Amino acid sequence: MSVTSTNPATGERRELDVGETSPEAVRAMAARAGDASSEYARRALDWREDLLGAMAEELEADADALVASARFETALPEPRLRGELARTAFQFRFFAEVVRDGAFLAASIDEATDSPMGPLPDLRRVRVPVGPVAVFGSSNFPFAFSVPGGDTASALAAGCAVVIKAHPAHPATSAACFVALSRAAVRCDAPEGLLGLVFGLDAGTALVQAPEVAAVGFTGSLAAGRALWALANAREVPIPFYGELGSANPLVVTAAAARERAVALGEGVAASVALGAGQFCTKPGLIFVPAGEDGDAVVASLGARLGAEGPFTLLSEGIAENFRRGARALEAQGGAAVLVAGEWGEAAHTSARLLEVDAARFARERALRAECFGPLAVAVRYGGPEELRAALEAAEPSLTFSVHVAEADPDAAALVALGARRAGRVVVNGYPTGVGVSWSMHHGGPWPATTAAGATSVGAAAVERWLRPVTYQTVPPDLLPAALRDENPLGIVRRVNGRLEAGTPPRGGR
């Protein structure tokens, strides 16, 4: 079956010169990735660093064509897409820095010694690549979370081959990005099979089940993620499944903050909810606002600004239909009042919606707690700290937890502590939409936000998902990996006999 590219703004369809990948072809691709991973893991670190830099360069070289393709398939504005592509190139260069640093290997040496528990042998520990990684691209970021996204870049940085499942919302863009990455691989003489790309639902299933695949990275819906997670665990040899499954992302306005800057807060929240037509996994979907006049002013400002946004074109007809279905369920099952409601729209087009419910009802009605992917938010009105706490405890754990406070706010400390228990990132007096690529970023959270709360899909620590530790005991020096040899030929940071030793990475032959 041939693959079709669709413009969500106009409904125009283009048949691509590519078909859905058969299960047999997927298995063959995974086998090549297995062979490539073994060779790739043996390559010098500075070679790996150069490969990641070359991939950034090839993406930038194709920028005009890639943005035009993504514009057709997503209806996202050109400035947004150019910014996202720039971030994606930066992401590859950032992981080149992670490789250069060498600390991601977590190399540790304990020389043979006598101890209170008796003689200890020579023990040396390092992280090694897990093997081929399956990556499932997302719908909402055709570059940064798709074929050339963070899962791909971090897996390559870890030393793993990658086979990517293209998202059906932007197949032409996926194929074009893959061409750019493949050019870089050829330019650097990478092992054949280091990169693979598959199309189609059955291909995704076959990819998770392929024996050579050692781990999976997924960004998408809870339903699809759970199905693939089950497949990963049902294999004869289960494998790690790192799924980012979405989140309603509570945002709290304290009574003091509402008193201080109600109108500005409402406008700021509305801008965050509407950003990207509400199709960010970090969109604040649950807005906790105090009862009373100050809270009324926040909600009125939020509603006025949100009602003036749009109409919106969502990423696909399917996403728009799911949005309408989810919004109707919130209104019908949750019993929320509708404060802002434009036309439901047809095909991929729709309008923003703002619902309102009291905190006690929110705590009772499970339907109100789920993420609704699109331009919708639920204002939850609370009467005091205890009612707020009960409502927040009822909300599902999330990727982010935001709180807007005033200076010397009596509620601030308790809310930050609560947020740290229930989310992967806590934001104070800011908005959570957008995720920065950095050494300290954590993009994850407790279930159901992700399948592994300790893992991140963004930032330097993302590389850790694709590594596993190995300890070498009494292994002769010539049989040790370079990271564990006494002379430290890689020049990396290591812990030797309990003391952290700084490295000086040389260029050439690492």
Q: What is the pLDDT of residues 47-88, one digit of tens each?
A: 999 999 999 999 999 999 999 999 999 999 999 999 999 999
Q: Is the pLDDT assigned to residue 434 strictly greater than 50?
A: yes
Question: According to the model, what pLDDT value does residue 505 have?
Answer: 61
Summary mean pLDDT of the chain: 95
Tokens 């072809």 correspond to what residue?
A: 25
CB 304 within 8 Å of CB 269: no
Q: Where are the alpha helices (DSSP H) in 275-335?
A: 293-307, 317-334
Question: According to the model, what pLDDT value does residue 509 have?
Answer: 46
Nearest to 81 by CA among 8, 7, 173, 152: 173
Give start-end residues of each CATH 3.40.309.10 domain in the chain. 250-428
pLDDT band at residue 507, thresholds of 50, 70 and 90?
A: low
The C-alpha atoms of residue 357 and residue 43 are separated, in whole angstroms, by 57
What proportion of the chain, given as a percentage, has pLDDT over 70? 99
Give start-end residues of each CATH 3.40.605.10 domain in the chain. 22-101+129-245+454-466
Task: State pLDDT tens for residues 391-407.
Answer: 999 999 999 999 999 99
What's the mean pLDDT in 299-309? Answer: 96
Instruction: Return the structure tokens found at 174.
Output: 């996926």
- List, in order, residues 6 or more apart from 449 with CB less than 8 Å away: 244, 245, 246, 247, 396, 397, 398, 399, 423, 424
What's the mean pLDDT in 322-347? Answer: 90
Query: Could you give the 3-state DSSP secondary structure of residue 302?
Result: helix
CB 176 within 8 Å of CB 148: no
Question: According to the model, what pLDDT value does residue 212 have?
Answer: 98
The C-alpha atoms of residue 368 and residue 365 are separated, in whole angstroms, by 6
The C-alpha atoms of residue 337 and residue 299 are separated, in whole angstroms, by 13
Question: According to the model, what pLDDT value does residue 331 have?
Answer: 87
Instruction: Return the structure tokens found at 157.
Output: 């940085």
Task: State pLDDT tens for residues 440-488.
Answer: 999 999 999 999 999 999 999 999 999 999 999 999 999 999 999 999 9
| Helix, strand, coil percentages for the chain (3-state, nearest 5) | 45, 20, 35
Question: According to the model, what pLDDT value does residue 380 have?
Answer: 98
CB 449 within 8 Å of CB 245: yes
Rounded to whole angstroms, what are the CA distances from 156 to 32, 36, 183, 312? 15, 11, 15, 36
Question: According to the model, what pLDDT value does residue 503 have?
Answer: 79
Q: Is the pLDDT assigned to residue 308 strictly greater than 80?
A: yes
For 366-370, 401-405, 495-499, which range has the lowest pLDDT when averaged over its residues? 366-370
What proportion of the chain, given as a percentage, has pLDDT over 90? 93
What's the mean pLDDT in 172-186? Answer: 98
- The CATH code of the domain at 22-101+129-245+454-466 is 3.40.605.10
Instruction: Report whether CATH 2.40.30.10 matches the domain 250-428.
Output: no
The letter for the amino acid at 446 is P
What residues are annotated to the active site? 244, 281
What's the mean pLDDT in 202-225? Answer: 96
- List, in order, residues 6 or more apart from 108 with CB less than 8 Å away: 124, 125, 126, 494, 495, 496
pLDDT band at residue 370, thresholds of 50, 70 and 90?
A: confident
Task: State pLDDT tens for residues 244-296.
Answer: 998 999 999 999 999 999 999 999 999 999 999 999 999 999 999 999 999 99
Nearest to 449 by CA among 395, 403, 413, 404: 395
Q: Is the pLDDT assigned to residue 376 strictly greater than 70?
A: yes
